[in-house]
Structure 1
Amino acid sequence: MKFADEFKAAVTPRAALLVIGVLALQLLFITSYVGALHSPEPKDVPYGVVAPVPAVAQQAEQRLDQLPGSPLDPRVVADRETARQQIMDRKIDGALIIDPRGTTDTLLVASGGGAALSNVLQVLTVRIEAAEQRTVRTIDVAPASSEDFNGLSSFYLVIGWCVGGYLCASIMSISAGALRASPQRAGIRIGAMALVSVVGGIGGALIVGDTILGALPGSFWGLTGLGALVTFAVGAITLALQELTGVVGIGLAVLLVVVAGNPSAGGAFPLPMLPPFWQAIGPWLPPGAGTWAARSIAYFEGNALTKSLLVLSAWAVLGVAVTLLVAALRERKHRPAQS
């Protein structure tokens, strides 16, 4: 009986539920990462086709569209410069420039958007061209920095900002003596989160920029602003989840950002190489939106940022609104009992 009593005292029902929750997170982590990344294959990659003769371009488009497994989503583009601009605008990921007067064509890629995808496009195009007894030369119109191995620095930078966001929010809520937030306390925590976000944005941009590592080119202030937004969005939604569910909210934030968000972010393998589920959710979660935006700032002249910034802003606004609303409703509920 003594051991049973000690066991009940050591393992409370609440602790047991939390352990079960951690085990579930562990298994979901394995499922999500292995499921997303164990067998990357290109699927419907936006791909331009250019030829001086429209009939040649249309024939090439049809041939590419019929490839087994549908690795490409080809579309005829007016000319080489238009194809290049569409790559820089992140509307397509590569383009084949056909020269019907010779036997060598040109492939345009952008390794700054993810070296894994540009490499796959090169291998696939070489194989397609060889079947037609043609050769291809590759031009990288938005090359990744020589200090940015496989274009991963943007992804790791954003993950760092995300980690800072949910850890800071978690610490503020579970630190010794911390209580469920009143509206005033919630406002202070949100203000502190904003300050931390700005400092984290500046720090991250300094580390990856020319000042320290030189891993990423692009606007210092652009990356700083993005870092502040990513950190604040993740921190705000973590505060909101904790206001709604208590300590369980930390696990929910990890589920959202780490378990679902990281493997679907397009870091190691860009979105067109991920399975459909992860490809669908990635752009709508903070790691995916942040990674896309960081690469746009670093390598694509700041193009195609609007959607990602709106997604991050929506998470930030939702987090702030829920945190303040729950705090206000709680105070309103308890006010009569305290009078």
Structure 2
Amino acid sequence: MTAETSTTADGTAAGPVRVEPNAFRRWYSGLHPSLQLIGLQLWLPLFFIVGFCLCYIAAFHAPHPHDVPVAVVGSSSELQTVLDESSPGVVDLRSYPDVAAARDAVTAGRVAVAYDPGADAIYTASAHQYQVAALIPALITPAIEARGGAAPAVTDLAPLPPYDEYGTVSMYLMLAWCIGGYMVAMFIGLMGAPLRHRTRTTVIVVGGALISLVTNVLAGPVVGAVQGHLGELFLLGWGWIIAIGLAVNGISYFVGRFVALPAMIVFVFLSMPASGGAYPAWFMPQPFAWLNNVVVGSGITEMLKRVLYDVGPGYGRGLTMMACYAVVGVVLMIVGKMWWENRRIRRIVSGRTTMFIDAQNANRDFLAAERDEVLRRHGLVSTDTGTINALPFDERDDLDERTAGDMFLGSTNGLEDDTLDTRPISTRPGR
């Protein structure tokens, strides 16, 4: 229901004037209150399946290598020509002066693999990218043999341990932290809008510590997918959950109960495919390949690989991303709180409501009436003070009468036209 403020002849405000809702809103308000609430939340599963298809299926249905950086000790022009003819646009060879520099580039994640023609060797780091370590040597070996070279031997500079054979632990830890961070802040946004910044931030910090502790204890000592590093992983997860929580908390001021939509887009649907956890950016289509530079999943995954296996670019990039998301969240909190309060005042003054608020109010009234009906059926009545008394015997003649129910419009009996299956309560007069 909406309203507009009218004015008197002397220009003073005379209070809100009720404006009739449109035809759809009038029809919708006639449905059962509980059905109204359900209908107003069905956007979430629809959004979820659309996001899943457009992000996960679109990103992973046909990963294909493109512009994969490969280090070559010495000159790479001749081999690049052969690769461009056999696999155009797939491999980007980069010359390095010596083997040590090429090997460092592999373990740091700057290149996929390194090839040393002098030693007929290919160096990989499966702990950084298992898919790359498995596919790229097989891709460039035929080109090496085509130019007269011997089939190179493959040396894994950072092999994966047996408890993480395919290198997926970092991806799932990242996903757990992302979901934990956005869900803590999401419920704050849904139910804690009037809370002060200090209270909301405290909930995020405490909730983040609990989620990080539980996640790392389960992944490590309980499941055995991680060996050691419990303290480092706890601090790392805690920091990322706080950063994500602050960002989602700031967003919640602007989108209200729809906070799950931007939160899941940014921190789940885009972050996971672009993180490099499942496939590196060199295998992903656009825009996921570019998003690898900015999504939290990328920063978390690379930091996890550094903690667990001492591979990847190090902590600088991840810490910078963490700080940026936290700062953005704090700025959104400060600005969003003022915007939300101004918007709330305008709604109160104008008397405007939303369909969701109307449905909540209708459902509250319905549940109160249903509660009174249940009590009446058992010879009880609730007073204005909240006490429950027994009905006088002369007022119990119609206790067995039923009101016909309606599947959509509802009734005092609820959605189903059945007698409530509750046990009778024996009462004594005067008690």
For normalisation by structure 1, the TM-score amounts to 0.83
Q: Which of 113, 136, 146 is the aligned partner of 1:94?
A: 113
Q: Provide the residue aligned with 1:201 in structure 2.
A: 212
Q: Which has the higher helix share?
A: 1
Residues 229 and 313 of structure 1 are in contact (CA less than 8 Å); yes or no, is this contact kept in structure 2?
no
Equivalent in 151, 157, 163 of residue 173 of structure 2: 157
Is 1:181 the counterpart of 2:182? The answer is: no
Q: How does 1:230-309 map to 2 (within 5 A)?
A: 230-300=240-310, 303-309=313-319
For 1:112, what is the secondary structure of its paired residue? coil
- Alpha-carbon deviation of 1:302? 6.7
Secondary structure of 1:262's match? helix
Aligned-partner Cα distance in 2 for 1:91–1:218: 27
The superposition leaves residues 69-119 of structure 1 with CA deviations (integer Å, 9 ceiling, x where unpaired) of 3211111111111111112222212101112xxxx7211111111211211
Distance in 1, matches of 2:81 and 2:228, equals 37
Q: Does 1:113 align with 2:128?
A: yes
How far does the alpha carbon of each residue in 1:232-259 deviate from its partner, in whole angstroms, 9 at most, with x for none? 1222222122211111012221122222
1:19 aligns to what?
42
Question: Does 1:128 find its partner at 2:138?
Answer: no
Runs of 4+ in structure 1 off by over 6 angstroms are 332-338
Amino acid at match of 1:37: F
Using the TM superposition, give the Cα deviation of residue 331 of structure 1 relative to its aligned residue in structure 2, in angstroms: 4.5
Partner residue, 2:161: 145
Question: Cα 1:207–1:168, aligned 2, differ >3 Å: closer, same or farther?
Answer: same
Q: Is the 8 A contact 2:109 2:311 kept in 1?
A: no
AA at the equivalent of 2:31? F
Do the aligned residues in 2 keep the contact of 1:47 with 1:92 (CA within 8 Å)?
yes
**Partners of 1:225 and 1:82 in 2: CA distance:** 32
CA spacing shift, 1:172–1:42, aligned 2, 3 Å: same
Residue 269 to residue 330, structure 1, CA distance change in 2 (3 Å): closer
Per-residue Cα deviation, 1:180-207 (whole angstroms, up to 9, x for no partner): 234x2x3211122112223333443444
Answer yes or no: is the 8 Å Cα contact 2:185–2:204 preserved in 1: yes
Assess, with a 3 A threshold, how the Cα gap between structure 1 residues 4 and 225 changes in structure 2: closer, same or farther: closer
TM-score normalized with structure 2 length:
0.67
Cα pair 2:79 2:143 within 8 Å, conserved:
no
Structure 2 Cα separation of the partners of residues 5 and 311 of structure 1: 46
Query: Per-residue deviation at 1:327?
Result: 1.8
Q: Is the 8 A contact 2:72 2:116 kept in 1?
A: yes
Distance in 2, Cα, partners of 1:215 & 1:156: 11
Partner of 1:215: 225
- Whether the 8 Å CA contact 1:193–1:235 is kept in 2: the answer is yes
User: In 2, Cα distance between the equivalents of 1:17 and 1:285?
Assistant: 30
Q: CA deviation at 1:220?
A: 3.8
Q: Aligned residue for 1:44?
A: 67
SS of structure 2 residue aligned to 1:7: coil
**For 1:275-300, what per-residue CA distance to the aligned partner results, in whole angstroms no more than 9, with x for missing partners?**
12111113311222211221122223
AA at the equivalent of 2:199: I
* CA RMSD across the alignment: 2.9
1:76 equivalenced with 2:100 (yes/no): no
Q: Which amino acid aligns with 1:252?
A: P
Contact kept in structure 2, 1:152 and 1:268, CA below 8 Å: yes
1:5 Cα offset (Å): 6.9
State the 1:23 CA deviation.
Answer: 1.8
Q: Deviations over 1:160-184 (max 9, x none)?
A: 111111222223333xxx34234x2
- Verify the 8 A CA contact 1:242 1:249 in the aligned structure 2: yes
Change beyond 3 A, Cα 1:17–1:333: closer
Structure 1 spans left out of the alignment, 5+ residues: none
Ranges in structure 2 where 5+ consecutive residues have no aligned partner: 1-26, 350-431
Residue in 1 aligned with 2:237?
227
Larger radius of gyration: 2
Shift of 1:21: 5.7
Counterpart AA for 1:38: H
